Amino acid sequence: MDLKFKKDVDASLVRIKNHIRRTPVQFSHYLSNSTGSDVYLKLENYQITGSFKARGALNKMTLLLKQKPEKVITASSGNHGSAVAYASSVLAMKTLIFLPETVSAVKLNNINQYGTQVHIGGNDTGKAERAARVFANEHDYPYLSPYNDYDVIAGQGTAGAEIVEQIRDVDAVFIAVGGGGLITGIGAYLKLINPNIQVIACSPEHSAAMHHSLEAGKIIDINHKETISDGTAGALEEHSVTYEYCRSIVDQSIVLSEDEIIIAMKEFMNSHQMMIEGAAGVALAGFIKIQQQFQNKRVLIIVCGSNISTEKLMEVLS
């Protein structure tokens, strides 16, 4: 990424700022006291639709609006779908969202409240994405990728633009990874401002497509299992632009067990009195797992979302 990306992110923030929330960066006394680091939280769980995804969806759809498409097609594990549905209601655009059978009830409800059309099929997000692309091609509709799109990535990077105005001299940032749009957007922007910042990619071991692809040196197919981090679950699309971006900006990639994620979520919710989803727990668990590397350092954790079903919440808190 180069300075053009920074300019594009800054322009994206101007474009969408009236339709999103400028989320706070909050100092975490609990995590700082328990780890020996100065820990800050970028609270995207307070974002509209309960996830950072509103940023990328609004940016891309605002640009698509100029083309006056009859309908926009997308696929999602839930959060991106909610963001697209919200953006479609704000921009008065028609959308069709392909969802996997594993979509959580809370995320499906979030999508349905905006009145958009949905199609449910396939047992993971990767299959939903492939079905959506086929449908879009057959009907000559634009396809909006949850992550494999420069304008979506630039939209996610607006969180990074806010961060540099909210906190300085960060030594490391921990970010959950699914398709890689969030870590690319925020990580690239922060590295353009501070090349020395360490960008740490955090993935659930049950669905760690980007992690294993980075290890292999190419995008590969892996076996996926159900994970509490449904927001990062699913295959990495072939030829995804985020793969090369992640290769250039990720300093360390780690995987977390389901137990590690759930423990981190439970401790966080008990100590911070706020709701988070599994993907946010992945980033928290990642920092906790390698905290010794960052003693006396200033650390930022992206708390990426709050959308969790009652069933998964009970699993975490039990």
Number of CB atoms found within 10 A of residue 274's CB: 15
| For range 38-62, the mean pLDDT | 97
**Starting from the edge strand earliest in sequence, which strands make up the sheet with 117-120, in order?**
117-120, 95-99, 72-75, 143-144
- The full set of domain ranges for the chain reads 3-51+151-317, 53-148
| pLDDT value of position 233 | 87
Give the domain 53-148 fold. Answer: Rossmann fold (3.40.50)
C-alpha to C-alpha distances, 206 to 130, 193, 224, 249, 284, nearest whole angstrom: 21, 33, 6, 23, 17
User: pTM for the full model?
Assistant: 0.95
Decide yes or no: CATH 3.40.50.1100 for domain 3-51+151-317.
yes
| For range 26-33, the mean pLDDT | 98
| For range 168-173, the mean pLDDT | 96
pLDDT bracket for residue 1 (50, 70, 90):
confident
**Domains 3-51+151-317 and 53-148 are alike in CATH topology:** yes
CA distance 29 to 37: 10
Pick from 253, 248, 262: nearest CA to 178: 253
pLDDT bracket for residue 108 (50, 70, 90):
confident
Check whether 124 has a pLDDT greater than 80.
no
| pLDDT value of position 102 | 81
| For range 198-226, the mean pLDDT | 96
Pick from 193, 144, 148: nearest CA to 173: 193
